[in-house]
A and B are shown apart, each in its own frame.
Chain A
Amino acid sequence: MSAAPSRSRVTGWHRRIARLVLGAAAVFWAVATFTFCVQTLLPGDRAELILNVKAGTFTQPTAAELAQINARYGFDAPLAVQYGRFLGGLVRGDLGTSYQTQGPVRAIIAEQAAPTLLTLSALALAWAIALLLTVPSAGRDGSLARLVSGFQVAAAVAPPYWIGTILLVVLGVKLRLLRVESGTGPAGLVMPAFALAIPLSGFIGQVIREEFARVLDQPFVTSARMRGMSDLAVRVRLVLRHAVLPGVTLSGWALGALFSGAAIIETVFARPGIGGLLVMATSARDVPLVTGIILAAAGLYILANLLVDLAYPIIDPRLRAR
């Protein structure tokens, strides 16, 4: 308590970061425990499942065959030991072995990392569209501003696959601007990213718009105008920083929603990606792969929300000073 004031504030700030990181780790641990429970406690014998997946048949394997698999995967150990091994593997980054390919799950997921860029680029694109439309039009009541706000409402409720199909037909088939078969290159990212980004931009835009209009009427904004600040400068340099806060909160959630959206949009554009992999792994009952993908997605989601929590005090320094 007798520490110098500036010093104690820094440690307080560090303590808050530490608390956030620990909280995120705890949530991840809970997710891991939950997926482990689902894996082990669901009905059906796992050894039988592995043999069937490998052979592609649905026969009743012999007891000897089952015992061999049980021993190899450690299913014969007590649950607590299995749980310990599972967590130990997670710490080392080992997500287990796929039932289908017999390869490590981590490698299979890592192969899909590049295509998964889709979700991140969609998020960035959504922000760009939302800002471009909202910043000049928020707080105005002209017909153009109303049109933009109407578009954002429509975009927010439009399903991504529907937008994707329209983009395919218009840009790919009619105008021949982009190839219909998108492939894995960066050019192939354009249409699916837009398909995912447009609805999300509607959501973000609406959330920002409301806050933007509110802040525009604040006395400190009028004060800045009284000092000769132009309307554009008021919007970009003054109001925007306040208005992005609810949008940032939304982004943590949006990243999770984009993952599930990506699975569908990848199918529309015939792209590889983590979404398609999850669909395939689920239909093949490849439990370790499904678990691995869920854990990876959950990890990313938790990480995104951690970043949001850390970004908040940077945008709003009042949270730090308190």
Chain B
Amino acid sequence: MDSSDAPADEEKTLLELLDRLLNAGVVLCGDLVVSVADIELLYLRLQLTLSSVETARRAGWFVPAPNGCHDWPEGRHAG
């Protein structure tokens, strides 16, 4: 593939990476147990979703209303 439309020495920057990441959307999941002196004290379940609003809307995660308030899709709060 000819790469004439991209400068050869163009380097990836964190900015570009974040820009693309927002476009695709990412979900980070993690389980964490915090122990003190071998005694398990805290349990943390993380589910972080990060994306552009357009991507979130396409995926049905998020439906922004024209007035700036947010309506979550049906069933989001169920259970």
Same complex for A and B? Answer no
Interface residues of A (CB under 8 A from B): none
